[in-house]
Chain A
């Protein structure tokens, strides 16, 4: 019985030496590779020349496992019969998010996802000095976006603000900004702190999104909070309080907040150009709940209600000694319910619905010096009242199947419905009601194919049907990214984008079709060691833009004979390395664009397009004084301005010219006294912020009197603005979240 055991024991002591060289598929040696015999202690590690060698006492048929971080493991059957065994191996790179190329043409992404070449972080959105705590304010420091100050929105690469659409958790957001006020740009409604991811596409975006000729702003809301907390904020403009409650099992949370903004104090100190008879006040209420539906699934609700009012008078340009009065009241409800879930077998579901309701109550009047309403002859049209009510419903569903590596297939459907009611009351109490209902159905599919870490291809198709136009479109999208070297990559993107004509120019007496834009983008990017560089060249062709004419005394769309193009080059450089604890970025955009649309007499550079736009953003944290110092400089070369009039026959220029260059220097300090204190029960952030610190005169364009004889510069409501605030939260350290929670 014992005899065979002894023999076995003796055999076990016979050693085999295994050696070899490990290389990658470019025949370069790979160091640090683990070579092991499966389920045995025996093995070795390759050296810097890729060589390894080890001895083993194992016998017979075994499995040799060769593995290293960043490579696909290789298994090889071996037979151990004594002596020396030479096993060389070639390792293939593993395709992973950390090393793979990114389809980045036309896209700036700031999210918590692991990415090889991210150039922005989520916190950048809130720590940019010129942003004033507004999402789009931060995006305006990136290449591609214009510095338009007289109206809200993102003007991207020669496109209008209406050509940029915003999506929260996949679904379209209507009325992303507060309702327009003449010559005063409005802020976005939503706090940047409810989002964890921001994707700003300046062109060539995915087939999952549509109805935007120029740009898509894709926002992803936060998941469960880390901890329960309560917070209050007091500023020169506003007061707010909120609560976030995380369930004990950390599987669900709920919260709400209320904020009241009143600009009386600020306007009392900082003289405004307008004379406010009703200083702007805002009541904002929001509520949320988030429920984990499984280990990977989450259901999120975000609800928002806002009510705001303002009224002001300015000296009338049409009749000296009289005043123009404008008043607006706005109520807005927004609800978003989104659900994402892993369905197993590498299937994933992303679905959501949103519903919003918007009411505007706008009135325009002329007043005499005693602030009494008057109606002047030939200027009767300046007295009117507009009531609008809009109901919007959006739904989207995307199914994703993960394929090998990072490759994936996505498809789904989107539905948007809008119901806009408008009641126009003229000076003589004559009423003109109008209703416009529209539905948009879309189906889309796209595939991401990662052939290797160095090559990624995305192809997609989108079909849309618009009930408003009674037409269907097919939009292809395509992009490729190729890794050139360590940290550097080139990418290209192409796509066709369609959009319904803007509702404000509808209904039209004639049948219309989709407006169309075709994008071509080439990008080079290098990201290495806390430094990023990006250069992008683009060409965008516009077809079927809407031309307008005067129909029943209002500007209405009459045809799709408009056209245009935009081309340019953009640079972005970010450096966190050269100067210790200093982070800065520089962006520059050159834009050459012309278009013939709306009432333009012929193809011209539009008034919202500057040739040269540039920004410098600097951020520094000074530990000694626990203060975050942020600085931003925005520049835009002079934009053209036009006064276009109808001479009874055709539109023509009554006046044209170029506004002066735009300069804005902003500065902000965030003092965080409790940062780093481990046992602190509360965390406070004090914010001090100055925009246009050098009091530079900024001109956005010109207003013309009705008869065209007088013109007046459109300027900001005040040159310089100062903001001071304190934000205190109890519970979790939310210092980051409240930095720059201005305005």
Chain B
């Protein structure tokens, strides 16, 4: 009888933990597609907060940490485009510990390396003259690591393309080379299969958008 109770308890526990992960999956599936489409600050803040709640509740899943950090970095980049570089650092300070937690939970992952590249590039843009040496180098190192971990990841080429596209020609940038990289990224998006429905898959729209630019 005792054994019977144990079996029932164990199966109950399993169901509840299964239910938990189903809940996790459902919550994430509801949010992840928005990552690729949300542009407004309000939308990104809300999305970042939602991912952060899931991250803090789960604690052992790297994806919600990854997405929460990504949304904050995207916000920082938007502020750069709005010419408010002073708003970059506070958002990056928020993103950094979450990015580090994602890396602790999931080592040697190309997606997290891409995130690190975006983080360092963003930090540099807040004060390029003084930060070029530290953050510029860390950014290119992170992108190289991402490429070596997974040369088939389309976001590697998207980020590399953005670098090429926005860097002035005299500094080694090139719009045409950038566009080649966006085309390469689109090709990789065609064959890239995210590990699950909630793994990163964002970026195709952005790559296509860059190709429409003059």
Q: Are B53 and A43 in contact (CB under 8 A)?
A: yes
Whether A34 contacts B89 by the Cβ 8 Å rule is no
Does residue A554 face the partner (Cβ distance < 8 Å to B)? no
Q: In the complex, what distance in Å separates the CA atom of A34 from the CA atom of B94?
A: 13
Per-residue CB contact flags for chain A residues 104-137 toward chain B (1 = under 8 Å, else 0) read: 0000000010100000011100000000000000
Knowing A40-B57, A114-B89, the reply to whether A121 touches B133 (Cβ < 8 A) is no
**Is A565 interfacial (CB 8 A cutoff)?**
no
Q: Are B130 and A123 in contact (CB under 8 A)?
A: yes
Q: Does A29 contact B (CB under 8 A)?
A: no
B84: min CB distance to chain A, Å: 8
Contact between B170 and A676, CB atoms less than 8 A apart: yes
Q: What separation, in Å, do the CA atoms of A286 and B112 have in the docked complex?
A: 42
Report which of A5, A31, A114, A733 forms a contact with B133, defined as CB distance below 8 A: A733
B 61-109 contacts with A by CB, 8 A: 83-86, 89-91, 93-94
Bound-state CA distance A736–B136 (Å) is: 13
Is there an interface contact between A624 and B170, defined as CB atoms closer than 8 Å? Answer: yes
Q: Which residues of A contact B8 (CB under 8 A)?
A: 1
Q: Which 3 A-B pairs have the closest CB atoms?
A: A676-B171, A34-B49, A32-B45
Assess whether B170 is in contact with A678, with CB atoms less than 8 Å apart: no
Please determine whether A45 and B49 come into contact, CB atoms closer than 8 angstroms. Answer: yes
Given contacts A5-B12, A98-B90, whether A226 and B134 have CB atoms under 8 Å apart is yes
| 0 or 1 for each of A671-685: is its CB under 8 Å from B? (1 = yes) | 000011110000000
Could you give, for residues 107-138 of chain B, a 1 whenever the CB lies within 8 Å of some chain A CB and a 0 otherwise? 00000000000000000000101101110010
Residue of A47, A69, A226 touching B137 (CB-CB under 8 A): A226
State which size class the interface on A falls in: 35 or more
A676 and B90 contact, CB distance less than 8 A: no
For A121, the chain B residues whose CB sits under 8 A away are 127, 129-130
Complex-state Cα separation, A736 to B91, whole angstroms: 28
Q: Which residues of A contact B90 (CB under 8 A)?
A: 69-70, 98
Say yes or no: A36-B53 contact (C-beta < 8 A), given A31-B42, A114-B89, A676-B170.
Answer: yes
CB<8 Å pairs between A and B, sample of 25:
A1-B8, A31-B42, A32-B41, A34-B52, A36-B49, A41-B23, A41-B54, A42-B53, A43-B53, A45-B45, A45-B49, A47-B42, A48-B42, A69-B94, A98-B89, A98-B90, A98-B93, A112-B130, A121-B129, A123-B129, A675-B171, A676-B168, A677-B172, A678-B172, A736-B133
Query: What count of chain B residues pass the 8 Å CB interface test?
Result: 38
Task: Tell me how far the C-beta of B22 lies from the nearest C-beta in chain A, rounded to whole angstroms.
Answer: 12
B85 to chain A, nearest CB (A): 8
**Main SS class of interface, B:** helix
- Chain B residues with CB under 8 Å of chain A are 8, 12, 23, 27, 41-42, 45-46, 49-50, 52-54, 56-57, 83-86, 89-91, 93-94, 127, 129-130, 132-134, 137, 140, 167-168, 170-173
A123 to B134, CA, bound (A): 14
Instruction: Give A contacts to B, CB under 8 Å.
Output: 1, 5, 31-32, 34, 36, 38-45, 47-48, 69-70, 98, 112, 114, 121-123, 226-227, 529-530, 623-626, 675-678, 732-733, 736
B20 to chain A, nearest CB (A): 11
Q: How far is the CA of A45 from the CA of B38 in the complex (A)?
A: 15
Contacts of A40 in B (CB 8 A): 53, 57
Contact of B140 among A39, A70, A678 (CB under 8 A): A678
* Cα separation A41 to B129 with both chains bound (whole Å): 41
Contact partners of B133 in chain A: CB under 8 A: 226, 732-733, 736
Q: Are A676 and B173 in touch, CB under 8 angstroms?
A: yes
| Bound-state Cα–Cα, A530 to B83, Å | 10
Q: Which residue of B lies closest to A9 (CB)?
A: B19
With A and B bound together, what is the CA distance between A654 and B132 in angstroms?
A: 58
Report the Cα distance A588→B193, complex, angstroms: 63
- On chain B, the residues within 8 Å of A1 by CB distance are 8
Closest approach, in angstroms, between the C-beta of B58 and any C-beta of chain A?
9
- Bound: A67/B173 CA distance, A: 41
In the complex, the answer to whether B12 meets A34 with C-beta atoms within 8 Å is no
Q: Which residues of B contact A733 (CB under 8 A)?
A: 133
Which residues of B lie under 8 Å from residue A677 when comparing CB positions?
A: 171-172
The distance in angstroms between the C-alpha atoms of A70 and B130, with both chains bound, is 24
Beyond A39-B57, A678-B172, 15 extra complex contacts between A and B, CB < 8 Å? A1-B8, A31-B42, A41-B54, A69-B90, A69-B91, A69-B93, A70-B90, A98-B93, A123-B130, A623-B171, A626-B170, A676-B170, A676-B171, A678-B140, A732-B133
Chain A residues within 8 Å of B84, by CB: 529
Report B-chain residues with C-beta under 8 Å of the C-beta of A530: 85
How far apart are the CA atoms of A529 and B87 in the complex, in Å? Answer: 10
**A110 to B: closest C-beta gap in Å:** 9
A41–B27 CB distance below 8 A:
yes
B89 CB contacts on chain A under 8 angstroms: 98, 114
Chain A residue with Cβ nearest B72: A69
A112 to B167, CA, bound (A): 25
What's the Cα separation between A675 and B50 when bound, in Å?
42
Docked pose: A626 CA to B169 CA in angstroms:
10
Assembly CA distance A672 to B137 (angstroms):
18
In the complex formed, the residue of A with least CB distance to B24 is: A41
Shortest Cβ distance from residue A501 to the other chain B in the assembled complex, whole angstroms = 41
Q: Are A43 and B49 in contact (CB under 8 A)?
A: yes
Contact between A43 and B129, CB atoms less than 8 A apart:
no
| Shortest Cβ distance from A38 into B: residue | B56
B53 A676 Cβ-Cβ under 8 A: no
Interface centre among A34, A48, A70, A227, by most chain B C-beta atoms within 10 angstroms, is A34
